[in-house]
Amino acid sequence: MNYLSQTYEGKRHDKKIVDEEKPTYPEDIGVYQDTGFQGYAPDGVQTFQPQKKPKGEELTPEQKECNRLISRIRIVIEHIIAGIKRCRIVKDIFRNTKEQYDDLVMEIACGLHNFRVHCRES
């Protein structure tokens, strides 16, 4: 499932944005989240987040393996975000004041990333 929220001006925390927008998910979907979404658990969705090592203790081998599996999926997501940010207009300060241009720029950057990936696979 792909989801792109509207853009937000300034520094906004990811969890606050998702709490405001309240996206809906298909039934029985898994969400692999990073620490920016700590405590986010929508109804009907299974969430996966790496476990931290308890103070003064070690993680069990099962917990370490689970963290590795989650990291394999999360790294793909981080690479996608980095691929979108190859368009510098997305990561630099956007100085255009026309209405809805910031959202349009993000959509175009995502489309260009998808096009690059598609051309690489062909």
Average pLDDT, the chain: 86
Token pair, residue 16, equals 């606050």
Q: Give Cβ neighbours of residue 14 (< 8 Å, ≥ 6 apart).
A: 36, 37
Please tell me the predicted confidence (pLDDT) of residue 1. 59
Please tell me the predicted confidence (pLDDT) of residue 77. 87
Please tell me the predicted confidence (pLDDT) of residue 59. 92
Query: Looking at the predicted structure, is the pLDDT value of residue 103 above 70?
Result: yes
d(CA 73, CA 2): 15
Please tell me the predicted confidence (pLDDT) of residue 60. 92
52-63 per-position pLDDT tens digit? 888 999 999 999
Please tell me the predicted confidence (pLDDT) of residue 108. 92
The burial of 33, by beta-carbon neighbours within 10 Å (0-12 exposed, 13-18 middle, 19 or more buried), is given as buried
11-19 long-range contacts (CB < 8 A, ≥24 apart) are: 15/39, 15/40
Q: Which stretch of 76-85, 96-105, 109-118 has the lowest confidence by average pLDDT?
A: 96-105
- Give the confidence band of 22 by pLDDT, cuts at 50, 70, 90: confident
